[in-house]
């Protein structure tokens, strides 16, 4: 070959090389342009996807926000509609004083929860009670809601057997209104008599005002949550149409977040810069291309097999992946295997899959033993395995066949751990029968166990004893300590019951502050049960430490015995509740067995309670006034107002026969309010500027707004504040000393006189006297009755000296003899009161004291 031929071939070779390089560069450039176009497209799609996800998320949060609002409404109405007192006062009859004046179902629903509308729909579908924006109105529900509520009311009545509320959405003046309705029920209270006919229905209306929507939007990341501004705004997205049976749709709109737009603004410029850098490096990619091509060719087969493997695995959702050969020996375990099971994958490679997983069914176990003979299961295999921590766990296993040129070569699949899901399901089943706080069996489980025990044969003379235990003063303790402290009390009390009783005795949490103990064996006499209760009271009353404070728990116990008292679960529980009701009337630490006499007494007491409610509302109460005289000259200084009940059947009844009944039945506040108003009104007609003294009940004193109430009563009666004295016992200040101090200061600032009643019978009198603004100290009548005894005389002298040292007027109660009067005067007592000086009398008879009642 000549040199010219060599050069020619060299040029041809070089030209070919240049042509190939240029062609490669063109192809690479085309690929790079295509790649950047695809990346830009992909980035735009991601931004759109993020915007769409944000939109979908905002819809989810909007639904969740409305649902949360609805659930609050449903819980609130359930607390009031399924309440025996509400059933009596707003269905059996409509008591405006009970519902609105005493704030049981009135302005507090607007002030505390923001419910603008509260309505009661009578059985004839009339609106008999309405509170609009916290004010008592005569507006009907249909008129205020601007829609037909009859369908909602009927649904609520149909759901009364559950009992469960019904819900609908209305639109009032362009604003959505969530409305729930629930039929009144007796709330499970056996003492509340049923009223024939359909129930009345309670409605709560929650208007979603712009302010509420704005606050709701801030809580759930929904900017500008609102009702549509106009028709065009209503048609745009996103929007949420609230479920409504009304003709006009109820919509909510908001402005969605657009995170994708921000992403584009940041990443598109960066993508452009990256494109310039990649273009500059493109020629380096060309140089490495041929080398990479050879390597890619070598790995092509491996990549093809790997692609098939992971394509099959991707078809199933799992926690970890596995592969075996034809004999089910493990050949591959994913990295998630160790994270889930705790086992090192290397220690299991080559070992049979059946050693790791045990099938729960016989059919699946056969496949593990003979995979080539038994058809491969398509459904998930339910299996168990032992984790590295020694715990048996559950999983669902999916199986796929690996096929090669010669047929089946092995198996691969996924294993999804279901242990947590199974445990959650078991926990749900547990919570259906057990109390979550104390872990004791709950009310529903109690009924099941009782029915079973009562239906089973029992040894002769062996009793089945049902003990109902009430945790006394739990509501006050819960208010004082808060929800967390109250829960700790319940937990520790439940633990004490479990510690006291043997493991065979079943203990149940019956209500929030009541527990039930079922004694099924070993008791054949009431004497044994008496001894058990005595020991239980001593065990429970040991000091308890909560939040660095020491408490002593008090209990009352009601006992019912089967089959003497009842033969069904509900009747036996009712009997124990009747016995517990009687025990509550006794001192703490007492117990009571059920008897038919108790049942009759409770029925009688219930009748007396209803008659007292009628007496307060129908002017059957009377005020009597007992004079208080100055000790130095025996001149009249003031009057103590004492309530009497002019019963239409029993005649005039003293307070000792109905005050405790009023306290137990929740009527003491209404009774105390009547006495305060009537005493101030009648004091204007004494004919002399005497003060009138009124006793406050503990519940009346603890109610918020007492200072404002007293101010209003004085203004309405036209009585100067200095002519009113309020008597308060020191026990009222035990639960909330700081709150009591603020109330007393407020009353003192009005100019009202304050008197500590029954001084010397409580626990912390000296500390209260030093802190609180009392004007008068009343010596309890028990000291005056034994005044001649040396120790009592010394006590009375000390009380008088203490009162004078604190610049207080000292009044002695129960003066019944001339000797007592002279002794008290000699000791320096300031005021005297008792039968010796004057019996209580109505205002018409005040002339007997030298007074002339003015008109």
The CA-atom distances, in angstroms, between 165 and each of 79, 108, 141, 183, 617 are 11, 21, 17, 7, 31
CA distance 127 to 400: 68
Query: Residue 314's pLDDT is what?
Result: 41
Q: Is the pTM of this model over 0.75?
A: no
Q: Give the pLDDT mean for 27-43.
A: 78
The CA-atom distances, in angstroms, between 76 and each of 83, 118, 205, 478, 608 are 12, 12, 11, 20, 31
3-class state of residue 123 by DSSP: coil
Nearest to 737 by CA among 705, 710, 770: 770
The CA-atom distances, in angstroms, between 72 and each of 113, 167, 360, 509 are 9, 12, 44, 25
Query: Residue 14's pLDDT is what?
Result: 47
Residue in the structure block whose two tokens are 């000292």: 810
Contacts of 160 (CB under 8 A, 6+ apart): 182, 183, 185, 199
Q: Assign 263 a pLDDT band (cuts: 50, 70, 90).
A: confident
The structure tokens listed for 826 are 């000699």
CA distance 686 to 382: 90
Q: How confident is the model over 208-262, as pLDDT tens digits? A: 888 888 888 888 878 878 878 877 777 788 888 777 777 667 778 888 877 877 7
Q: Which segments of 457-595 does DSSP mark as H helices, in order?
A: 474-500, 526-540, 569-584
Cβ atoms 394, 382 nearer than 8 A: yes
Query: Residue 174's pLDDT is what?
Result: 80
Query: Residue 248's pLDDT is what?
Result: 66
Q: Please tell me the number of Cα atoms within 13 Å of 831 on its side-chain side.
A: 24
Cβ atoms 259, 55 nearer than 8 A: no
Query: Residue 10's pLDDT is what?
Result: 47
Query: Residue 215's pLDDT is what?
Result: 85
Q: Assign 706 a pLDDT band (cuts: 50, 70, 90).
A: very high
Does 477 score more than 90 pLDDT?
no
Does 446 score more than 70 pLDDT?
yes
Mean pLDDT of the chain: 84
Q: How confident is the model over 736-768, as pLDDT tens digits? A: 778 888 999 999 999 999 998 877 665 545 666
Q: Give the pLDDT mean for 665-690.
A: 90
């Amino acid at each position: 070959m000549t040199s010219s031929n060599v050069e020619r071939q060299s040029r041809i070779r070089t030209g070919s090389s240049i042509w190939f390089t240029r062609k490669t560069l063109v192809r690479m450039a085309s690929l790079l342009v295509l790649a950047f176009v695809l990346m830009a497209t992909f980035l735009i799609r991601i931004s759109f996807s993020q915007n769409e996800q944000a939109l979908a998320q905002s819809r989810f949060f909007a639904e969740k926000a409305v649902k949360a609002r609805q659930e609050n409404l449903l819980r609130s109405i359930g607390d009031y509609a399924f309440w025996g007192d509400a059933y009596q006062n707003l269905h059996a009859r409509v008591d405006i004083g009970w519902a609105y004046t005493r704030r049981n179902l009135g302005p507090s629903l607007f002030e505390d929860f923001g419910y603008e509308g509260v309505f009661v729909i009578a059985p004839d579908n009339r609106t008999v009670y309405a509170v609009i924006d916290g004010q008592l109105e005569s507006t009907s529900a249909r008129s205020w809601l601007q829609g037909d509520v009859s369908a909602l009311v009927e649904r609520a009545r149909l759901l009364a057997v559950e009992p469960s509320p019904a819900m609908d959405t209305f639109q009032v003046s362009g604003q959505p209104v969530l409305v729930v309705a629930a039929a009144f029920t007796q709330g499970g209270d056996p003492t509340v008599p049923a009223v024939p006919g359909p129930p009345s229905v309670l409605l709560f209306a929650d208007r979603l005002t712009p302010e509420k929507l704005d606050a709701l939007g801030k809580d759930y990341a929904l900017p500008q949550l609102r009702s549509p501004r106009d028709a065009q705004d209503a048609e745009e997205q996103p929007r949420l149409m609230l479920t409504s049976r009304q003709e006009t749709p109820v919509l909510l709109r908001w402005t969605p977040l657009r995170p994708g737009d921000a992403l584009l603004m940041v990443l598109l410029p960066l993508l452009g810069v990256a494109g310039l850098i990649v273009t500059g490096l493109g020629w380096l990619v060309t140089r490495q291309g041929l080398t990479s091509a050879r390597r890619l060719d070598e790995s092509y087969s491996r990549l093809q097999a790997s692609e098939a493997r992971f394509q099959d695995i991707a078809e199933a959702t799992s926690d970890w992946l596995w592969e075996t050969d034809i004999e089910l020996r493990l050949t591959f375990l994913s990295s998630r295997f160790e994270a889930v099971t705790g086992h090192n994958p290397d220690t299991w490679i080559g070992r049979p899959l059946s050693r790791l997983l045990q099938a729960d069914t016989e059919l699946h176990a056969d496949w593990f033993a003979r995979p080539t003979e038994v058809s491969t299961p398509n459904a998930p295999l339910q299996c168990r395995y032992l984790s590295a921590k020694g715990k048996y766990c559950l999983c669902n296993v999916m199986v796929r066949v690996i096929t090669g040129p010669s047929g089946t070569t092995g198996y691969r699949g996924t294993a999804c751990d279901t242990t947590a899901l199974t445990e959650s399901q078991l926990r749900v089943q547990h919570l259906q029968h057990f109390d979550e706080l104390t872990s004791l069996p709950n009310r529903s489980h109690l009924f099941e166990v009782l029915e079973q025990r009562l239906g089973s044969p029992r040894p002769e003379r062996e009793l089945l004893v049902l003990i109902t235990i009430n945790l006394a003063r739990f509501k006050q303790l819960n208010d004082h300590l808060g929800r967390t402290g109250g829960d700790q009390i319940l937990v520790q009390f439940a633990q004490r019951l479990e510690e006291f009783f043997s493991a065979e005795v079943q203990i149940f949490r019956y209500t929030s502050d009541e527990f039930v103990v079922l004694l099924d064996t070993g008791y054949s006499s009431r004497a044994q049960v008496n001894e058990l209760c005595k020991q239980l009271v001593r065990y429970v009353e040991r000091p308890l430490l909560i939040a660095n404070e020491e408490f002593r728990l008090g209990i009352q116990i009601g006992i019912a015995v089967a089959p003497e008292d009842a033969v069904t679960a509900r009747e036996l529980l009712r009997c124990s509740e009747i016995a517990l009701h009687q025990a509550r009337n006794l001192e703490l630490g007492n117990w009571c067995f059920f008897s038919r006499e108790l049942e009759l007494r409770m029925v009688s007491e219930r009748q007396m309670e209803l008659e007292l409610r009628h007496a307060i509302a129908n002017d059957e109460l009377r005020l009597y006034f007992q004079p208080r005289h100055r000790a130095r000259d025996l001149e009249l200084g003031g009057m103590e107002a004492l309530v009497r009940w002019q019963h239409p059947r029993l005649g005039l009844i003293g307070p000792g026969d109905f005050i405790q009944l009023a306290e137990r039945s929740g009527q003491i506040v209404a009774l105390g309010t009547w006495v305060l108003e009537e005493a101030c009104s009648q004091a204007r007609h004494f004919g002399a500027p005497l003060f009138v003294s009124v006793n406050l009940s503990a519940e009346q004193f603890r109610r918020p707004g007492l200072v404002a109430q007293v101010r209003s009563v004085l203004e309405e009666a036209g009585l100067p504040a200095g002519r009113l004295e309020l008597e308060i016992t020191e026990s009222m200040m035990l639960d909330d000393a700081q709150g009591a101090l603020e109330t007393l200061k407020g009353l003192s600032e009005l100019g009202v006189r304050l008197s500590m009643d029954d001084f010397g019978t409580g626990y912390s009198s000296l500390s209260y006297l030093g802190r609180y603004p009392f004007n008068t100290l009343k010596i309890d009548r028990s000291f005056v009755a034994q005044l001649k005894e040396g120790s009592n005389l010394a006590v009375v002298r000390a009380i008088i000296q203490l009162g004078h040292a604190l610049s207080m007027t000292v009044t002695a109660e129960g003066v019944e003899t001339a000797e007592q009067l002279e002794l008290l005067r000699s000791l320096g007592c300031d005021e005297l009161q008792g039968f010796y000086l004057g019996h209580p009398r109505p205002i018409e008879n005040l002339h007997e004291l030298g007074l002339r009642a003015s008109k």
